[in-house]
Structure 1
Amino acid sequence: MASSTAIVPSRMHQQSRGDRGLFSSSDDNVMMKQITATHAPDGREFDVKPLLHVIEDIMHRATPAIPGIPHATQAQLEAMDEKAVYSGFSDMLELLAYPINRIACEISCKCSGGSDAHATTVALFNTLSSYMWDAKVVIALAAFSVNYGEFWLVAQLYPSNPLAKSVAFLKQLPDVLEHTDSLKPKFEALNTLIKAMLDVTKCIVEFTDLPSQYITADTPELVIATAHIPTAVYWTIRSIVACASQIMNLIGMGHEYIASTTEAWELSSLAHKVSNIHSHLQKQLALCYQHIDEKRHIEAYQTLVRLIDTPHIDNMKILKTLIYAKEDQPPLWDGHLKKRVSIDVLRRKNVLLFISDIDLSHDQELYILDQMYTESRQHPTRPESQYEIVWLPVVDRSTPWNETKQKQFENLQSMMAWHSVHHPSLIDPAVIKYIKEVWHFNKKPLLVALDTQGRVVNTNAIHMMWIWGYLAFPFTTVREDALWKEETWRIELLADSIEPMIFTWISEGKYICLYGGEDMEWIRRFTTTARAVAQAARIPLEMLYVGKSNPREKVRKNNTTIVTENLSHILPDLTLIWFFWVRLESMWHSKTQHGKSVENDVIVQEIMTMLSFDGSDQGWAVISRGSAEMAKAKGDTILKSLTQFEQWKERAGREGFVAALNENLHELHTPHHCNRLILPGATGTIPERVVCAECGRPMEKFIMYRCCTD
């Protein structure tokens, strides 16, 4: 026994001195030339993953349950039971059982005889020369796991199993395990190194399992990784030798064995190096997966493009491509029934895809769309009610999905009476790419219309919905063109249903004045003057304040003041004010998409004038009688015209109030003016050339960034 005690320290110091020099990169290069010279694979390839699962199972179960040293939990062991599948494993084991046991014997023999660690490692590489790099490291690790597992199997069973007790007695393991306090640093270092070895081995195997249809051997990311794999295999097998030596040193030492800090340092140093190798391989593996994902996304995107351009019997194939569905998990959420439903509920129906992100800055879109959807459901048998809406939330996949985003998504989903995807993850990245690149989604909501066969009949029907509501069914561009042919510029088109009383006022033959702006002093002067002129002209006048686009606190305060001072009617809900202006913007986008402009379309000219009113800093007003007669001007101009009523009073009596007002406004009009048109970042294409609605000259284009102007 004394001779054994004398041998071990000298052997360990010998290995320690050798290892210190081998951690440098210059020595790595020399060693790797020696190692690669042993590499002569015979072309056989093995699926070593099942073997790796068994190795992992052994390592987890063999981890010593010593106080203060982490070991596998019962849950982890149960998970390993499921993972270590032995079916289909026997054929491979027949081929690898002999080399595994041969390497196990070689490790035991050489690590017991005081051989140099590097020399032992080279000898193992010579034995494994005919195998690929991944098979080399897995076979070596399997061989070590046999020795390691047998050692701890005896150590764990000796208190209760007579056979294990006798074997442990001969190995003097009870005496060793009684000194666990002094051995704790060694076991901790050993476990850390074994984990690092497993991590590197799994990473190497993962490289060999990458799909060749998406990444080839000459792909730069894989070329770099492949160049480092021999080094990773070397240091993993070198670490196996170190771990085996430590285990062998425990056998037969009994109470005379004293663990030195040098041994723990050796293991820790190796663990540090192997962990660094693993980190580097993991980074390369992540780059490889990124390359694979890009290839897959391109392939999926191209498939989607072809699919959408191909005629189909119904809309199911398109919808199931846009929305990923597992057989046992319905992908849609029914906002009315409040439950998950199958995508089949949309079969052969007209579908409007409501596309937005989950950062909707305003809920006006949802409010108005809900009003229109609910109204269409009141008469479900009408042809124009035969459509369904499905919300497709587009989220940024580059940032992690967290609880805050989940609540944000659920909050929006709860506001919708229609269908939505159950979770944003059901929308594939290729679909998001298509939505952005083909349908031009960019923050602002879209309403893509699909017919009963899944054909895209309108890449953005939201403008049609805002202008005509469900009467725009089936939301095709052909229907859009037909609706415009039926329209003329009139108060009904301008105001629609923002105030139901407008239609009553029209039927009663009243004069209607819509006015806006934020200047409260101008509002007071204008409404007071307009009321006085109406009384003098003996005409029935109703006035309605429609504020400004993107209404904020100033408009809210103006509403309160107007009601308090009884100046005119108001739209009490700021969402209705927002809708008044967004309808005008939608009219502009809709018209321009059909090739209309100020030069060739009267309605576009009138819309441009209204939008330029909103872009100015002053108020404005439109005065109409019936459906056709209409006069309009900016605040100062129309106020001046009204104050001059006595000058054109007789003309008003002869020609009518609106006609006379128009003539007077024309006389006050000066050619030297500037119109400002502000178009918010709405959906649709912004034309390069826009002409002034009044003078016909091309307008200069600027880009403006504006937050709250209050």
Structure 2
Amino acid sequence: MAKFPTPDLKYTSDEQEIIEKLEAKYVKNGAPTPLENADDELIKDDIRYIVNKLSWKITCNSACEMDVDKTVHELLDFLSEFSWDAVVVLILAVFAMNHGELLLLRQSTGDNPIAKFLQKLKNPPSSLGSKEDLKLYVEEPLKNLVDQMLGVAEQLVLFKEQASTQKIELNSSVRKVFCIVAYRILQSVVKCISSTMEFVKSGDKYQDFPCKIQRIIRSCRFTAFGDYFKNSKFELEYNGILWTFEKANDVAILLLNIFSAKGNLIRQFDGINKPKNVNLENFQGNTVGFFITEFNVKEEDISVLKDTYNQDKKKGFEVLWIPVVDQSIEWKDELLDDREKVARKMPWWSLTSPLSGNNPVWWYIKQDWQFQRTSMLVVLDKYAKVIHTNALPMVNYWREEAYPFSIETEAKLWKEKSPTITKIIQKIKPLPEFKQGEIICIYGSRDMNWMHEFLCFINHLDVKDVEVKTTTVYVGANRRKQKLQKFETENSIFWSEDMMFRFWRDLENVAASKMIQSRENLEDAIKNEFATILSYDYKEEGTHAGRFLFVISDYMMHEN
């Protein structure tokens, strides 16, 4: 059974004393109530009896001016078999009866036979129904108290239901909050009913009522408890996601629990027609890739994944686009147009709205899958088990060869194909055939002056002394902001813009794939070689800023 941490809540000395007494006397840890499996009609009869009994006890004790806390403990003794959430619901039902009765007494009798009968029975002072300022002094303060109690009660009940559904165990700190909230609501109801009885009886003490209600609200700290439940609910939902991934054995059920249950329906675009609603059977029995991106997703990521998707869809591969919004950005409906523009470029399924920083799924993606604003592809097998936390670099480089996109498949590709810098270059454009005593220099830079000096140096080599033929290949720079002028000489090759782009793209993908495969081998030579080339392009200052030079001889590469 999953557990979750909860935010700290500092109690007053009075609250701490109440909790200690309640824990010593009552054992309520969220177990089912005796009524849970009873017949519906029996439940109705039992509830009628319980609510009437509670109402009568509060009325009698208030009429006898019994101490409020003593009355609360008597009520708890009567409700000792119920869990705290059930106690809260039942006592609010009692308050609703009392509050409704007060409103009927305030009505003009008119055609309402119930109000007419109740006023005859209670015979309230005439001032109770005649003074308009009763609305200000009585009804508005009561509404404020009702809103406060209902707000925290609703959060408590929903919290308990969600924990029960997800089979999450409530720890001791949560149970303490449950019992003190139940106690405070009981206390508030008893105090409020006692106060209303006073001015219903006399009709001239209602001016003190707002102050009494404010004291109740202030002492009960409903706002603090409400904030606690909001924060705890987020933790609960986050741990519920952990539990779902741990226990799910069907990818369709997992999607239903995490996304559709939250109203975030999944739709598919084909680039032309209107989106269509998803049937979760589309995912059942398939390998599913979660394509997680921000709105500014790279066109090449979509293009490559689209080709792979079209090739492997018939093998049982589905994709779901999960758009995310940075937590610093406030989600607005106007951004829906941006989402749909991106979604229409994709032939697979997508969420109808993006995940943002206040969504526990967003936090799961960030914390557990290490999403850092760069597009990623998390792959799940048909049993909803994650088989790769980011297969996108592997897909971008090996395409459909990488199916089913598991970490084991990636390891196999590295073992059989072992990409190197030379192989990446050869894949884009075969290098000139080597002759004895010949070398090829692969270089790149954003520094125009350095490029010119380097080529001049190569062209003025004394071949009689060196006895080496040198060919240079310029592969551009990954981060340059402008198109560079060509420096071509007799033995110089200047790649096209497309070829340069592919080189850096493949280099980044292979480097990322290798990083995943060799996380525990920090001295991996190939990984370090990739990192070295990529790091040159990120240097902004210094002697070697933005420059690199690699030499190939007999297809063996080493850094110069």
**TM-score with structure 1 setting the length:** 0.54
8 Å contact from structure 1 (residues 519, 619) kept in 2: yes
Deviation per CA, 1:227-248: give whole Å up to 9, x if none: 5644542343122211232333
Q: Indicate whether 1:245 and 2:185 are aligned.
A: no
Q: Which amino acid in structure 2 is aligned with residue 226 of structure 1?
A: C
> Which residue does 1:494 correspond to in 2?
425
Correspondence list, 1:53-92, <5 A = 90-92=41-43
Deviation per CA, 1:590-626: give whole Å up to 9, x if none: 567777999998x8898678557657436456788xx
> Which residue does 2:208 correspond to in 1?
262
Deviation at 1:219, TM superposition (A): 1.8
8 Å contact from structure 1 (residues 35, 125) kept in 2: no
Correspondence list, 1:566-581, <5 A = 569=494, 571-572=496-497, 577-581=500-504
Match of 1:368 among 284, 297, 300: 300
SS in 2 for 1:220: helix
Structure 2 CA distance for partners of 1:506 and 1:462, relative to 1, 3 Å: farther
State the alpha-carbon separation in 1 of the partners of residues 320 and 116 from structure 2: 68
Correspondence list, 1:299-698, <5 A = 299-304=243-248, 307=249, 317-318=250-251, 320-321=253-254, 324=258, 326=260, 331-336=266-271, 339-340=275-276, 341-345=278-282, 353=289, 355-358=291-294, 363=297, 366-373=298-305, 388=317, 390-393=319-322, 395=324, 402-403=331-332, 407=336, 410=340, 412-423=342-353, 433=364, 437=368, 443-447=373-377, 460-470=390-400, 476-477=409-410, 480-481=413-414, 484=417, 493-494=424-425, 496-497=427-428, 502=429, 515-527=443-455, 545-549=474-478, 551-553=479-481, 556=482, 559-562=483-486, 569=494, 571-572=496-497, 577-588=500-511, 614=537, 616-617=544-545, 619=547, 693-694=558-559
Q: Pick the structure with greater CA Rg.
A: 1
Deviation at 1:193, TM superposition (A): 3.4
Q: Which structure 2 segments of 5+ residues have no match?
A: 1-11
- RMSD of aligned alpha carbons: 6.1
8 Å contact from structure 1 (residues 200, 236) kept in 2: no
State the alpha-carbon separation in 2 of the partners of residues 599 and 172 from structure 1: 88
Q: Which has the higher contact order (CA 8 A, sep 6+)?
A: 2
SS in 1 for 2:545: coil
Deviation at 1:183, TM superposition (A): 5.5
State the alpha-carbon separation in 2 of the partners of residues 383 and 207 from structure 1: 42
Deviation per CA, 1:514-548: give whole Å up to 9, x if none: 542122123334456767999x9xxx999764322
Q: Which amino acid in structure 2 is aligned with residue 484 of structure 1?
A: K
Deviation at 1:480, TM superposition (A): 1.6
8 Å contact from structure 2 (residues 269, 343) kept in 1: no
Deviation per CA, 1:619-648: give whole Å up to 9, x if none: 456788xxx86798xxxxxxxxxxxxxxxx
> Which residue does 2:132 correspond to in 1?
180
Correspondence list, 1:276-295, <5 A = 276=221, 278-283=222-227, 285-286=229-230, 289=233, 292-293=236-237
8 Å contact from structure 1 (residues 108, 248) kept in 2: no
8 Å contact from structure 1 (residues 514, 621) kept in 2: yes
Deviation per CA, 1:154-210: give whole Å up to 9, x if none: 644623457856875894776643321366323322333344454566567678768
State the alpha-carbon separation in 1 of the partners of residues 35 and 244 from structure 2: 28
Match of 2:142 among 190, 198, 218: 190
State the alpha-carbon separation in 1 of the partners of residues 19 and 380 from structure 2: 61
Q: Which amino acid in structure 2 is aligned with residue 237 of structure 1?
A: V
SS in 2 for 1:393: strand
SS in 2 for 1:390: strand
State the alpha-carbon separation in 2 of the partners of residues 210 and 418 from structure 1: 31
Identical positions, percent: 18
Structure 2 CA distance for partners of 1:578 and 1:156, relative to 1, 3 Å: farther
Structure 2 CA distance for partners of 1:542 and 1:271, relative to 1, 3 Å: same
SS in 1 for 2:268: strand
Q: Which amino acid in structure 1 is aligned with residue 211 of structure 2?
A: W
State the alpha-carbon separation in 2 of the partners of residues 585 and 287 from structure 1: 39
State the alpha-carbon separation in 1 of the partners of residues 32 and 377 from structure 2: 56
Q: Which amino acid in structure 2 is aligned with residue 299 of structure 1?
A: W
Q: Which structure 1 segments of 5+ residues have no match?
A: 1-24, 49-86, 251-257, 308-316, 633-692, 696-710
> Which residue does 2:6 correspond to in 1?
none
Deviation per CA, 1:569-604: give whole Å up to 9, x if none: 56446xx64542242244455567777999998x88
> Which residue does 2:79 correspond to in 1?
131
> Which residue does 1:219 correspond to in 2?
172
SS in 2 for 1:548: coil
**TM-score with structure 2 setting the length:** 0.66
State the alpha-carbon separation in 2 of the partners of residues 147 and 287 from structure 1: 33
> Which residue does 2:3 correspond to in 1?
none
Deviation per CA, 1:549-586: give whole Å up to 9, x if none: 3x133xx1xx2544999x9856446xx64542242244
Structure 2 CA distance for partners of 1:583 and 1:31, relative to 1, 3 Å: closer
8 Å contact from structure 2 (residues 270, 348) kept in 1: yes
State the alpha-carbon separation in 1 of the partners of residues 101 and 212 from structure 2: 24
Count of residue pairs brought into register by the alignment: 519
8 Å contact from structure 1 (residues 193, 271) kept in 2: yes
Deviation at 1:357, TM superposition (A): 4.1
Q: Which amino acid in structure 1 is aligned with residue 425 of structure 2?
A: L
Deviation at 1:445, TM superposition (A): 3.8
State the alpha-carbon separation in 2 of the partners of residues 261 and 37 from structure 1: 40
Deviation at 1:402, TM superposition (A): 2.3
State the alpha-carbon separation in 2 of the partners of residues 298 and 606 from structure 1: 37
Structure 2 CA distance for partners of 1:182 and 1:460, relative to 1, 3 Å: closer
> Which residue does 1:679 correspond to in 2?
none
Q: Which amino acid in structure 2 is aligned with residue 220 of structure 1?
A: S
> Which residue does 1:94 correspond to in 2?
45
State the alpha-carbon separation in 2 of the partners of residues 142 and 386 from structure 1: 57
State the alpha-carbon separation in 2 of the partners of residues 598 and 162 from structure 1: 85
Q: Which amino acid in structure 1 is aligned with residue 299 of structure 2?
A: Y
